Amino acid sequence: MRGVLGFLAPKLLRALIAVWLVTTVVFVVMRLSGDPVPLLLPPDAPISEIERVRRDLGLDRPLPVQYATFLGNALRGDFGRSIHFRVPAWQVVIDYLPATLELGLTAFGLALVVAVPIGILSAVKRNSALDHAAMGVALVGQSAPTFFLGILFILTLSLKVGWFPTSGRGDWTNLVLPALTLGAFSMASITRLTRSAVLDVLRQDFVRTARAKGLPEPGVVMKHALKNAALPVVTITGLQFGTLLGGAVVTETVFAWPGIGRLAIQSIYNRDYPIVQCTVFLSAILFIVLNFAIDILYGVLDPRVRPR
Amino acid sequence: MPEKGERMSQLTRRDLLKSAATVGAAAALSPALGGPAAAQTTQKRELVTAQGGDISKLDPHFSTSSNDIRISFNIYDNLTSRHADGKLYPGLATEWKLTAPTTWTFKLRSGVKFHNGDPFSSADAKFSIERTYDPNQKTMVATALSTIDHIDTPDPGTLVVHTKKPDPLLPARVAFYGGQIVPKKYLEAAGNDGFNAKPVGTGPVKFVSWTKDDKLVLDANDAYWGGKPDFDRMTMRPIPETAPRVAALLKGEVDIIVQLPADQDERVAGNPTTRVAGALYAGLYVLAVNSKRPPLDNPLVKQALSLAIDRESIVKELWRGRGIVPSGMIAKGDNHFDPKLPPLAYNPGAARDLLKKAGYKNEEITIETTVAYVSNDKQMSEAIQGMWRDVGVNVKVEVIEYSVRAQKNREKSFKGVWWGDPTSTLGDPDGMMWRLLGPGGINDYWRHPRFDELGNAARFSVDEKFRGEAYREMTKIFLENFPWLPVIQPYEDYGLQKYVEFTPNPNQQFEIRKFNFKFKRA
């Protein structure tokens, strides 16, 4: 037990420092880069009116004072009221979260389900037609910008063929195109990585030994190669999930998907400080939890990194 | 106003590469869009609209963004209502007249009920108007109706409004934002937050539900005094990107889209089931000028800059013909617009001569442009940069973000020229030009004693003949000094299914009523 704590405690401390740094940077950058008040008022509002609203929102106070208030409240889980919506920021972000999780998890699942088997097959059947085709598609998937892919899907699969709705959230048909768009990059990189990881392992001595022992090829791949190839795949997969959260900004905007990525970008334009701080805080926490999960998975997969 | 609506679509055009890709893909696919026999009629009972951004609030007195007012003008009514022809019509007031130089008397419609069943009376009207400028309410429309001194309600059907000075435009003011009528009793019981969460008005649609950035659902008000609109339910979907918004229309998922960019007109008009409807924007797109900074403090330089802009080409090339060249500071369609005034001239030779005469010494002039704050702003900036360079002006284009622009507006810290889209909120030069260029206005960078004298006199005069003459003389002064460089008066285009009959309003209010909206039934 002490071992686990010793393993986790420094990580936890670093994570806390990271969250603090991220929120602080966002706090400062947002405030230095624009003022939400003129955006709230009619374009011809006189200066006196703008100053009045700034006072009402507490934006006239010196930055350090605002920062201290923000930190104090944030520690108690209070991110303030959204300037744009006039309701508590936390409540708004929570409302948007399910849509992002639904999209992100579907895209992630789709990426894994497609990428891992194809990656393995490509490695095993190296230089076959399947390998070349898969690697070609993966290259396109990895290099096509998300917005381009999204709009291409809308114009072809939705508008021309009519299989899916163009945008919005609804039943599962609404989920297909955004999930494909969002998952494309991860799908491609996980495929490529799985392939090279498996290829790497297949060249190792213990695989040769297994084959020499006369084990059937599927057994060699499934039992011995895969477990060893899993390590880099797990790492990159965990990182990919983070990329998915970032990619959600564009995908959600293109598909009019009501998720936190879209909320974040709009709140940045609106200089809605409380919402931006709240989404950034939440994303930072998500990343840290993910990293923890990967570290723990590592320990399970590779005894060498387990704490002694 | 349109000001703020546009901003939601920033992400699209923020990235040139992105829109280029979109247009390319769209062009490649459009011939394939034939589809089955065009649906020219429908049996639909639900109207679905899409706009570039979601609403932010349902309380009408806390926002003036165009995304919000498109909805609030349907949940609520105003005392007066501006129709597509630009004229004022009865709303919750059936008639109004000037009963003394500073007194407007409104006769109110009887038998009107709020969505919750409460009757509407003069007490609600008084409460609503006073609420806008009540300092304790902290509304975002505190200046909209601030010409009012106090309000009397001699009986439930009469509202007597006393203004501080004669106010010729009060009936127009109450037709626009700030003038939406809210229920006194319900609002006082629910509080501001409760009301914003569950709003109640007298308008043709009632609030049902709102899922942020997903959809807003409104039901038809069967008891509406103007007649139940031709649907049972109205849904508004925010679709931020232009290409998917147009695709949703072409595929028939939505019935009306707003803010259709000129470069998408062809796709919508060329599709067998959809069409484009437009209204000339009630306002102008101008380059506002910081006339305090040399060399822009020299009227000759500004005259030269105006002469060097080839507005015809801008209309034709960047707007596909969806706009007209302005003639001065008053938008076409507004009170006191002079139809005899010629469009602003293009004459690069004369511009060069004027620059020489002005002693222009190659000082740098900066165009501070946003991207998609108004449609085509960056493209127009680049075009104008080229035109000005052609006559020997040293010009630089700087791209700034929307909120930075708002901040510069507040601090009055623009360096040279920048885009504005002065909306004619009252159908009158006072509510547009004078509101912004007058002393204390956000474009107050230039003062001229005679111009100011006339502007103030016209503001407080209820004699329209005098006002007309004042604006004519002001236009003359304007055209010598160019505190704005007007560039275009564009069309505001909407994409519609062919089975939708709808006449848009030049003010972007998007009021959907029985008189201007109908589904074509088989």
- In a 13 Å sphere around the CA of B212, the CA atoms on its Cβ side amount to 22
As a whole number of angstroms, the distance between CA B391 and CA A286 comes to 57
pLDDT digits (tens, 9 = 90+) for B374-412: 889 999 999 999 999 999 999 999 999 887 888 888 788
> B205-211 and B80-82: which strand pairing?
unpaired
Cβ-contact B470, B335 below 8 angstroms: no
Cβ-contact A7, A253 below 8 angstroms: no
Are the Cβ atoms of B213 and A263 closer than 8 angstroms?
yes
As a whole number of angstroms, the distance between CA A17 and CA B424 comes to 52
> B93-100 and B285-289: which strand pairing?
unpaired
**Residue A186 pLDDT > 80, yes or no?**
yes
Nearest to A166 among B10, B253, B401 (CB): B253
Are the Cβ atoms of B436 and A44 closer than 8 angstroms?
yes
Q: Which of A30, A41, A44, A269 to mutate to test the interface with B (most CBs of B within 10 A)?
A: A44
Residue A37: pLDDT band (50, 70, 90) is confident
Are the Cβ atoms of B29 and A167 closer than 8 angstroms?
no
What average pLDDT does the segment B278-297 reach? 94
Are the Cβ atoms of B22 and A151 closer than 8 angstroms?
yes
Are the Cβ atoms of B21 and A50 closer than 8 angstroms?
no
A:B CB pairs within 8 Å: 166
Distances in Å between the Cα of A31 and the Cα atoms of A48, A280, A285, B299, B483 are 20, 15, 22, 38, 32
> Does B295 sit behind a cis peptide bond, omega within 30 degrees of 0 on the bond before it?
yes
Residue B85: pLDDT band (50, 70, 90) is confident
How much is the pLDDT for A244?
A: 79
* In chain B, % of residues over pLDDT 70: 93
Q: List CB contacts of B283: < 8 A, sequence separation 6 or more.
A: B2, B331, B421, B422, B423, B424, B432, B489
Instruction: Please tell me which residue, A241 or A145, carries the higher pLDDT value.
Output: A145
Phi, psi for residue B215 in degrees, rounded to 5 = -160, 155
Nearest to A155 among B25, B53, B440 (CB): B25
**Maximum Cα–Cα distance across chain B:** 71
Residue B241 with chain A: CB contacts under 8 Å: 151, 253-254, 256
Are the Cβ atoms of B140 and A56 closer than 8 angstroms?
no
How much is the pLDDT for B517?
A: 93
As a whole number of angstroms, the distance between CA B137 and CA B142 comes to 9
Distances in Å between the Cα of B37 and the Cα atoms of B33, B40, B354, B497 are 12, 9, 59, 14
pLDDT digits (tens, 9 = 90+) for B170-219: 999 999 989 999 999 999 999 999 999 999 999 999 999 999 999 999 99
What average pLDDT does the segment A93-104 reach? 91
pLDDT digits (tens, 9 = 90+) for B94-116: 999 999 999 999 999 999 999 99
pLDDT digits (tens, 9 = 90+) for B43-62: 899 999 999 889 999 999 99
**Residue A45 pLDDT > 80, yes or no?**
no
Helix (H) or strand (E) holding A178: helix A172-202
What average pLDDT does the segment B287-291 reach? 97
Distances in Å between the Cα of B460 and the Cα atoms of B173, B273, B298, B456, B464 are 14, 50, 31, 7, 11
How much is the pLDDT for B5?
A: 38
Average pLDDT of chain B is: 90
How much is the pLDDT for B7?
A: 39
- In a 13 Å sphere around the CA of A179, the CA atoms on its Cβ side amount to 23
How much is the pLDDT for A3?
A: 61
**Residue A29 pLDDT > 90, yes or no?**
no
**Residue B8 pLDDT > 60, yes or no?**
no
Residue A159 with chain B: CB contacts under 8 Å: 29, 33, 247, 250-251
Residue B407 with chain A: CB contacts under 8 Å: 34-35, 38
The minimum CA-CA distance between A130 and chain B, rounded to whole Å, is 29
**Residue B87 pLDDT > 50, yes or no?**
yes
Q: List CB contacts of A20: < 8 A, sequence separation 6 or more.
A: none
As a whole number of angstroms, the distance between CA A178 and CA A168 comes to 10
How much is the pLDDT for B147?
A: 92
Q: List CB contacts of B164: < 8 A, sequence separation 6 or more.
A: B102, B147, B148, B149
Are the Cβ atoms of A39 and B403 closer than 8 angstroms?
yes
How much is the pLDDT for B39?
A: 63
What average pLDDT does the segment B499-503 reach? 94
Are the Cβ atoms of A47 and B410 closer than 8 angstroms?
yes
Q: Is the dihedral of CA B317, B322, B327, B331 positive or negative?
A: negative
B221: left (phi over 0), alpha (psi -120 to 50) or beta: beta
Cβ-contact B371, B399 below 8 angstroms: yes
**Residue B327 pLDDT > 60, yes or no?**
yes
pLDDT digits (tens, 9 = 90+) for A62-84: 989 999 998 898 888 888 889 88
pLDDT digits (tens, 9 = 90+) for B128-164: 999 999 989 888 888 889 899 999 999 999 999 999 9
Tokens of B381: 């900036």
Name the least confident of A117-131, A212-226, B492-506.
Answer: A212-226
pLDDT digits (tens, 9 = 90+) for B233-251: 999 999 988 999 999 999 9
| End-to-end CA separation in angstroms for chain B | 38
The minimum CA-CA distance between A25 and chain B, rounded to whole Å, is 19
As a whole number of angstroms, the distance between CA A268 and CA B462 comes to 45
The minimum CA-CA distance between A158 and chain B, rounded to whole Å, is 8
Nearest to A38 among B11, B243, B407 (CB): B407
Q: List CB contacts of B486: < 8 A, sequence separation 6 or more.
A: B284, B285, B286, B326, B328, B329, B344
How much is the pLDDT for B223?
A: 95
ipTM higher than 0.85? no
**Residue B3 pLDDT > 50, yes or no?**
no
